[in-house]
Amino acid sequence: MKILITGASGGIGSEITKELVKNNEVIAVGRDVVRLKLLKKYLKSKNFSIIKMDVSDINSVKKAFLKIDDIDVLINCAGILGPVCLFGESDMEKWDETVKVDLLGTVYLTYFALPLLLRSKRGKIINFSGGGSAYGRAFHTAYAVSKVGVVRFTESLALEYPNLDINAIAPGAHKTNMWRDEKHDKEPENWGDIERLKDFIVYLCSEKSNGITGRFIHYKDNWETFDKDNLSKDMFTLRRVE
């Protein structure tokens, strides 16, 4: 299986990449190629390659895809936290960058990956969402708005392309650089289980998850026992206010 992943140089993305490269061909894309090269040196795997790409720049994404012939899975893991403060105190340039990376980056990658995924036996898209998608997050408006958009985009896209599996996932809270120096955020009492998260990603990349699509799934959900034929269309989706 051939997997394209963004955000592989980050704390969560690198751990997922280390797991996936064991049994798959993995292409990591990102603008920080120095960190990606360090990851490649660490992995020492012929299954791993890197391509420079700025996910927030549509022309950069388009150019990078000229070097990609085929993929079976797209994992949109790239993300930044953005300004953490009252909205009225926000730096709009940082706000803008957050939306471009977290939301538009997902949209751009998906657009150029779709033709390749549709040629796959069962193409899959895994969009990282997270806190702010299902509930408001005060002081995190740029991040929350972007991630809500990712979930809605995921649900809509899944309806348009029923032959693909397209899901948004909440990866849980893991100790990454996103938590540094945030006066309006408290570290969780219990960090997420990275091993379970990696198992979850492997599951969603596999044929075992065929037919699970258009969902917003938390990695702690009982995804191992999903009954695909009886899933309510409203389960695991973005919570709506009626």
Residue 115: in which H helix or E strand, if any? helix 105-119
CB contact at 8 A, 171 and 219: yes
Q: How far apart are alpha carbons 109 and 76 in whole angstroms? A: 8
Q: Longest C-alpha distance within the chain, in Å?
A: 52
In a domain, 135, yes or no: yes
Supply the range of the domain harboring residue 117.
2-225
β-bridge mates for residue 28, sequence order: 5, 50
**Overall number of domains in the chain:** 1
In a domain, 242, yes or no: no
In a domain, 16, yes or no: yes
Q: How far apart are alpha carbons 166 and 168 in whole angstroms? A: 7
In a domain, 240, yes or no: no
Distance set, CA 35 to CA 11, 124, 220 (Å): 11, 26, 29
How confident is the model at residue 178, as a pLDDT? 62
What pLDDT tens digit does each residue of the chain (242 aa) get?
999 999 998 888 999 999 999 999 999 999 889 999 999 999 999 999 999 999 999 999 999 999 999 999 999 999 888 898 899 999 999 999 999 999 999 999 999 999 999 999 999 999 998 766 767 778 889 999 999 999 999 999 999 999 999 999 988 776 666 665 556 666 677 777 889 999 999 999 999 999 999 888 888 888 888 877 666 655 555 544 43
Question: Per residue in 50-87, pLDDT tens?
Answer: 999 999 999 999 999 999 999 999 999 998 888 988 99
Residue 68: in which H helix or E strand, if any? none
Q: What is the rounded (10 degree) CA torsion for 102, 104, 109, 110?
A: 110
Q: Is the pTM of this model over 0.75?
A: yes
Q: DSSP labels for 21-38?
A: TTTSEEEEEES-HHHHHH
Mention every residue, 6+ apart, whose C-beta is less than 8 A from residue 114.
161
CATH of the domain at 118: 3.40.50.720
Residue 94, number of CB atoms within 10 A of its CB: 15
In a domain, 151, yes or no: yes
Give the phi and the psi of residue 169 in degrees, each rounded to 5.
-130, 145
Give Cα 219 distance to the centre of its chain.
13
In a domain, 165, yes or no: yes
In a domain, 234, yes or no: no
In a domain, 235, yes or no: no
Name the DSSP letter for residue 233.
Answer: T
